[in-house]
Amino acid sequence: LTIPKGCFVVIIGEVGSGKSSLLNSILGEMQIIEGWVRSNGSIAYVPQVPWILSGTIRENIILGKQYVPERYATVLQACALDVDISLMPGGDMAYVGDKGTNLSGGQRARIALARAVYYPADIFLLDDILSAVDAQVAQCILDNAIHGPLLNQRTRVLCTHNQQAVSSADIVVVMGNGCVKLVGSPEDLASSSKFSVRTSLSPLLSIQKFENSVDSCYESEVDSYEKKGCTQISGQPEETIGKDCMQISQEPEETIDTEERKEGKVELAVYRKYAAFAGWFITASILFSAVMMQASRSGNDLWLSYWVDTTSGSGRTNYTLSFYLAVLTMFCIANSILTLVRAFSFAYGGLRAAVRVHDTLLNKLVHSPVVFFDRTPRGRILNRLSSDLYTIDDSLPFMMNILLANFVLLLGIAIVLSYVQVMFLLLLLPFWYIYKKLQFYYRSTSRELRRLDSVARSPIYASFTEALDGSPTIRAFSSEDYFFTQFSSCVALYQKTSYNEVTSSLWLSLRLQLLAGFLVSFIAITSVIGSRGVLSVSLGTPGSVGLALSYAAPIVTLLGNFLISFTETEKEMVAVERVIQYLDIPQEESCGSLAIPEGWPHQGWIEFQNVTL
């Protein structure tokens, strides 16, 4: 099969005969087992299912190419889009959703056609673009776009069942069972008996009267519209192109809502909601076991300190070694049991909360109205169903477990240090004030960075899925660099938030190390001064001083771990916050519906008559 340059070729055949496969072979999208394909020049491609990006109409048409107002206006008129765009809020800057869900099938097909016509290609592959429009618009597209001045000298290959297109073709290719059956002019094929038998088209009859009626009908429709108003082209200075008046819309009116991002700290209601998903009894069990676990651990350390003080010096007692070991063993057994209860409760509560959040979110999405999906990009929904749910499933219970352990550990250290070292109380208030200021700045920054991180991730999902859906079109238009640059900009924006999160963690780590170093030095100096009898107040026994130093030594790690775990938990709770936003979406009304009884229908039959599939 050889297609001469500048010809209009129509490919016809039954459904499944290989028309689209032939175009994909020309594009190089199919593996060729036998034979070869050669093409000279650039290619523009319109798929059978129009590929529409989430963006403005203008962005869908120019597809990253330079915007030329004169050519752009001519393309809109040739593809019969001028009337449709003028009726849209925002004109050609109106925002369309994923896959053009807020457009009709004919509008999507004409936008995809306009994208190809705007592209200065040498070869145009058009896959059944006339099936989605009515006869009047199809005739307009044939006259003004395919046979118009924009494509008149270009090679055009059209798959269609439209008789007007077949009758105006230079070459007609008949496909059948994946092979080329017949090739010739319309006149030659109309007289062939094989053509009328092997194709689903009726014999090519003269349709001049029908074409004339279509022309007059469309012209009267356009004339009546031109009396009412002008075509809308948005975002450019007001100007006149040719004989057509262009009405300007400076601000695009978006039909897609901007993704909501809350500010400030995570509300307490979000924590309560998550606790309710886990179960209030499980939550109470976790808190009780954690507090008692730390109490048993601190009691074990205090008992060791008491053991040291009562077995040496003037405080010697008559207790046997077995007694000390028995009490120590009781503390160890109690601590082990409470640790096991806390771990099991956290694992069960986290799993239960994850399952209930997933089921509730899925149920809300399934019963949400269609307009919600029209106004919400797929990337946002996928972000919540993938990244946010994964956070709730995996990292959130883990971080909350660490947070609770660090909190009760710090609480136990503060109580023990206050008991064994009275001077620590003088440092407690200023120490807590400085620590509170540090954690406030760090938490506020990292929390907003996590929210920015979640919002910046949605465009990555959306851009990636759109590129996968339209990969044949992207390769045909040689727009790989444009989409790679667009995807890279989304990834770069996401990486900025990740980099700032690491920087804020380093900022906190430096200040916590300085603060903890000062605390350890203070306890050590006061202990040395107290041991020399300089002060009249006793600063504790050797056992209590050793206990205080052993508790103060890891304070750097504990303070850092507590604040990081607290901040990470708050950042992970952003996932719960984002999921809760979708739990409040409006639901489809189910009033008037009746529940079908089990075993229905009890009697009756279904009969088919003259059914054709």
More confident of the two residues 475 and 204: 475
CA distances from 546 to 308, 490, 540 (A): 10, 55, 10
Local structure of residue 91 (DSSP, 8 states): G
* pLDDT value for 241: 34
Please write the tens of the pLDDT for every residue from 547-597.
Answer: 777 777 677 678 778 877 887 888 888 889 889 988 888 888 765 566 777
Average pLDDT over residues 108-130: 90
Residue 316: band (very low, low, confident or very high) from pLDDT cuts 50, 70, 90:
low
The helix or strand, by DSSP H or E, that contains position 562, with its residue range, turns out to be helix 555-583
* Token pair 């000062």: residue: 518
DSSP β-bridge partners for residue 9: 157, 171
DSSP β-bridge partners for residue 77: none
User: Mean pLDDT lowest for which of 67-71, 270-274, 287-291, 410-414?
Assistant: 410-414
Average pLDDT over residues 172-190: 83
pLDDT of residue 460 exceeding 80: yes
Q: Where are the domains of the chain?
A: 8-247, 268-583
Compute the CA torsion angle 230, 217, 136, 151 (nearest 10 deg): -60
Q: Tell me the pairing of strands 8-13 and 240-241.
A: unpaired
d(CA 325, CA 309): 15
Mean pLDDT across the chain: 79
* pLDDT value for 359: 93
How far is residue 344 CA from its own chain's centroid?
33
| 3-class secondary-structure state, position 216 | helix
More confident of the two residues 212 and 514: 514
DSSP β-bridge partners for residue 245: 240
551's CB contacts (< 8 A; 6+ apart) are 301, 413, 416, 417
Please write the tens of the pLDDT for every residue from 524-549.
Answer: 777 777 666 655 555 566 677 777 77
* pLDDT value for 586: 84
- Fold adopted by 268-583: ABC transporter transmembrane region fold (1.20.1560)
- Fold adopted by 8-247: Rossmann fold (3.40.50)
Please write the tens of the pLDDT for every residue from 250-275.
Answer: 444 444 555 666 666 788 888 899 99
Please write the tens of the pLDDT for every residue from 472-524.
Answer: 889 888 888 888 998 999 899 888 888 888 888 888 888 877 887 777 777 77
* pLDDT value for 113: 92
Alpha helices by DSSP H, 367-470: 370-375, 378-383, 389-390, 396-420, 424-469
* pLDDT value for 362: 92
More confident of the two residues 284 and 98: 284
Please write the tens of the pLDDT for every residue from 382-402.
Answer: 888 888 899 899 889 888 888
Residue 282: band (very low, low, confident or very high) from pLDDT cuts 50, 70, 90:
very high
Please write the tens of the pLDDT for every residue from 325-337.
Answer: 898 899 999 989 9
Please write the tens of the pLDDT for every residue from 414-432.
Answer: 788 777 776 667 777 787 7
Residue 94: band (very low, low, confident or very high) from pLDDT cuts 50, 70, 90:
confident
